[in-house]
Structure 1
Amino acid sequence: MPSAKTPVPAVPSSESGAQQPTGAAEGKRTPPARRTTLRDVALALGVSVATVSNAYNRPDQLSPDLRERVFEQAAALGYTGPDPLARSLRRGRTQVIGVLYDAPLAYAFADPAASLFLGGVAHALQDVGLSLLLLSGRSEAAPAGDAARSASVDGFISYATAHGSPLLDAALTRNLPTVLVDHPLQSGQAGAAPVPETDYPIIGINDTDGARLAAEHLLALGHTSIGVLGLPLRADGRAGLVTPERERRATNTHILARLQGYRAAVRGSSSSSLPTYEVADNTPEGGQNAAHALLTASPDITALLCMSDVLAQGALAAAAALGLSVPEDLSLIGFDDIPSSAALNLTTVGQPTAQKGEQAGRALLALLAGQTPPNVLLPTTLVVRGSTGSKGGSSE
């Protein structure tokens, strides 16, 4: 009689019906593939590890041909180069410069003057292999100073930040090389410098003198009823007529310097009242709304001093909406001389904004090299075009 066969136990199956590998059933995992290293690239090429390292870190030590061979072999092996964070820790440098910007981040790309400035900074840094990191102090996602506190940078360029700005204050606590741009100098500017002049190099213009040029031009044309479209005196989003108390509490000291320059020019003249309407943001819409409000409230105004060409462009739109001809009924003068102002035939106060950025970049490079760069005060010029004319007449 044949013996009974021993039953074979069933093999459990997965939901998909596929048999699980033995290792998986026992909880084992396939080890990850080993990461390719500098040594692997060196062995494949038959060169030293130092040679491969130099290809990435000290390219001047290798011929272009050898460096290219290293990169080709690295690509073939899937090696992507040294870890950037580890490399920056070893060097003590990140090769990145932070630009402190108190306006919303997107505005840096919409404001022609800011774009010119950043282009100038980039021009100074690009030839030495440094990069820019734009740090905004106006984000709803984080406290104002966080961007400066956490940024991995070698130094800061502070662009027109207000006195007491949390962004600037946070940056200064880092004790990194820092250049201040558009902060009043202790000589030749109205207002006090936010930090001692000897502590940080300052790059800028004499805002007071530039504004005085603009006001004197209108006075020479016979204007006695003049208004001002002002940039924000504080970074609080307020728009409206500037009161003496508001002026006393100003934190944007370079803006205050312009207002005081206008006042210095008209002091003693019949136009000494100088009503000023402050905008919340430097936009054409802000300029149009401010000009409309000021001209409606004071219809006797025959000329407007605009603290930026962007505001002046808005004022042109407001004048057209009110049926006023420029310059026959209303003279307009801006500030900055951005590229579009020539096409609009706008009289303005010109400043070398791109050169200002380049000077700031070079000053920071000097600090990184252990040098002490001087303060730089760049000139302003009156650029007379067709938007200003004699009171009740045409342009001259």
Structure 2
Amino acid sequence: MTGPPHVRRPATLASLAAELGVSRTTVSNAYNRPDQLSAPLREKVLEAARRLGYPGPDPVARSLRTRRAGAVGLLLTEALSYAFRDPVATGFLEGLALACEQAGQGLLLVPVSPEHADVAAVHQAGVDGFVVYSVSEDDPHFRAVLERPVPTVVCDQPVGVEGVDRVSVDDREGMRALGRHLTSLGHRRIGVLCMRLGPHRYDGRADIPRQEASSYPVQRERLGGVRDAFAEAGVDWSTVPVYERYDHSPEAGATAAAELLAAHPEVTALVCTSDVLAIGALQHAAEARIEVPGRLTITGFDGVPEAERVGLTTVRQPVRRKGQVAGELLLERGERNRPTLIVLPTELVVRDTSGPAVPVERFFSGW
């Protein structure tokens, strides 16, 4: 009977040092502080490690010694796939990843559902700090982040959190500029499609109390900007239909547009609080054979690449730069004593989907 095959035990830092006749510190420096070794000596250590099967220092043991995880956590209160299919989230993630890459840090995505209060993923995340991507004011996962003794940077919302850095854009002013553009074109009968206003699923008309009670400041500010611009033109906001969608997708924008226009055929302009919703509204208009902008003006907010392709009038925000700045703020937090607020500029981009309001006498023929 033959015995079990001999299996060579994996090399360790100590055995590799003994093999080379150098100190364990020298082997460790070859991986962690290469500037402390000459290039030939470091290559000698790494070549021997490859030959002997030494995998390098244990990152878990190293993190226990240094009390550093070497990674930034991104709190995302959406499904993980959202970060890769939503164009604004994707642009933000690209910028954040660039900042981490430049600093030699990893990036850990911490996706959680806004409808569930389980905060275990936040407590268990092995990170040195958190970037919080646009969550509601009462989000339990954000409260769990604040309980961790690590620096935190908020992107967009919530606002006014003591001791926390934040990077954002002036959503209200951006939307105010868009509203003024529409009133200059003669629009007085508008409808609004907005993203979710609360953490629980709701799809339908959002009355003024629901708008004002929203736990998402970005949506409050974007609606407020339109409201400001139309108040300047003498439009009573209580006459403006606002339809909300919980999901952020073109499909949600299409169904919201269909619902609003069926109930309010007098509307001459649809103001959408995101490009994604606006792209869905354009799809509905095309399917319903509603001429844009001849019969209906449609606008968005964000400036995503698809908006340029379809000629959407929108408010452009620098989403990639926002992510990069958020990462830089977090990684440089130890060098500052006070929290920082950075507000990046927006730009009104007028394209093909906005035009003069239809004369009122043409409304009687319906769609």
Q: Give the TM-score normalised by structure 1.
A: 0.85
Q: Residue 387 of structure 1 corresponds to which residue in structure 2?
A: 353
Query: Is residue 2:289 matched to residue 1:314?
Result: no
Q: 1:56 to 1:182 in 2, by over 3 A?
A: same
Query: Is residue 2:333 matched to residue 1:367?
Result: yes
CA distance in 1, matches of 2:176, 2:196: 19
- Mapping 1:134-213, distance limit 5 Å: 134-138=109-113, 143-183=117-157, 185=159, 193=160, 195-196=161-162, 199-213=163-177
CA distance in 1, matches of 2:271, 2:19: 70
1:278-303 CA distances to partner (integer Å, 9 max, x unpaired)? 11111000000000100111011110
Which amino acid in 2 is paired with 1:170? A
CA distance in 2, matches of 1:295, 1:45: 77
Q: 1:42 aligns with which of 17, 21, 38?
A: 17
Secondary structure at the counterpart of residue 332 of structure 2: helix
1:287-323 CA distances to partner (integer Å, 9 max, x unpaired)? 0000010011101111011111111100001111222
Q: Select between 332-341 and 176-185 the one with higher mean Cα deviation.
A: 176-185
The alpha carbon displacement at 1:144 in A equals 3.6
Q: Residue 363 of structure 2 corresponds to which residue in structure 1?
A: none
- Mapping 1:236-247, distance limit 5 Å: 236-247=200-211
Question: Is the CA contact 2:76–2:112 (under 8 Å) kept in the aligned structure 1?
Answer: yes
CA distance in 2, matches of 1:171, 1:32: 45
Query: Is residue 2:60 matched to residue 1:85?
Result: yes
- Sequence identity percentage: 42
Query: Is residue 2:86 matched to residue 1:120?
Result: no
Question: Is the CA contact 1:225–1:271 (under 8 Å) kept in the aligned structure 2?
Answer: no
CA distance in 2, matches of 1:370, 1:267: 42
CA distance in 2, matches of 1:332, 1:64: 61
The alpha carbon displacement at 1:68 in A equals 2.5
Please identify which structure carries the higher helix content: 2
Where does structure 1 differ by over 6 angstroms across 4 or more consecutive aligned residues?
29-32
Q: Residue 259 of structure 1 corresponds to which residue in structure 2?
A: 223
Q: Residue 331 of structure 1 corresponds to which residue in structure 2?
A: 297
Q: 1:369 to 1:91 in 2, by over 3 A?
A: farther
The answer for unaligned runs of 5 or more in structure 1 is: 1-18, 22-28, 186-192
Which amino acid in 1 is paired with 2:286? A
Secondary structure at the counterpart of residue 218 of structure 2: helix
Question: Is the CA contact 1:164–1:251 (under 8 Å) kept in the aligned structure 2?
Answer: yes
Q: 1:175 to 1:352 in 2, by over 3 A?
A: same
The alpha carbon displacement at 1:44 in A equals 1.9
Q: Select between 104-113 and 267-276 the one with higher mean Cα deviation.
A: 267-276
Query: Is residue 2:80 matched to residue 1:105?
Result: yes
Query: Is residue 2:104 matched to residue 1:129?
Result: yes
**Cα RMSD between the aligned structures?**
2.1
CA distance in 2, matches of 1:299, 1:343: 28
The alpha carbon displacement at 1:369 in A equals 4.2
CA distance in 2, matches of 1:112, 1:64: 43
Q: Give the TM-score normalised by structure 2.
A: 0.92
1:225-249 CA distances to partner (integer Å, 9 max, x unpaired)? 1011101111212111002332243
The answer for unaligned runs of 5 or more in structure 2 is: 360-367
CA distance in 2, matches of 1:75, 1:370: 42
The alpha carbon displacement at 1:180 in A equals 0.9
Which amino acid in 2 is paired with 1:41? L
Secondary structure at the counterpart of residue 336 of structure 1: coil
- Mapping 1:6-85, distance limit 5 Å: 34-85=9-60
- Mapping 1:299-310, distance limit 5 Å: 299-310=265-276
Secondary structure at the counterpart of residue 267 of structure 1: helix
Tell me: higher relative CO, structure 1 or 2? Use CA pairs within 8 A at least 6 residues apart.
Answer: 2
Q: Residue 198 of structure 2 corresponds to which residue in structure 1?
A: 234
Query: Is residue 2:332 matched to residue 1:357?
Result: no
Query: Alignment length, in residue pairs?
Result: 357
Secondary structure at the counterpart of residue 132 of structure 2: strand
Q: Residue 188 of structure 1 corresponds to which residue in structure 2?
A: none
Q: 1:300 to 1:281 in 2, by over 3 A?
A: same
Which amino acid in 2 is paired with 1:267? A
Question: Which of 1 and 2 has greater Rg?
Answer: 1
Q: 1:278 to 1:75 in 2, by over 3 A?
A: same
Which amino acid in 2 is paired with 1:177? P
Q: 1:94 aligns with which of 65, 69, 72?
A: 69
The alpha carbon displacement at 1:47 in A equals 2.0
Question: Is the CA contact 1:137–1:166 (under 8 Å) kept in the aligned structure 2?
Answer: no
CA distance in 2, matches of 1:370, 1:67: 36
The alpha carbon displacement at 1:115 in A equals 0.5
Q: Residue 348 of structure 1 corresponds to which residue in structure 2?
A: 314
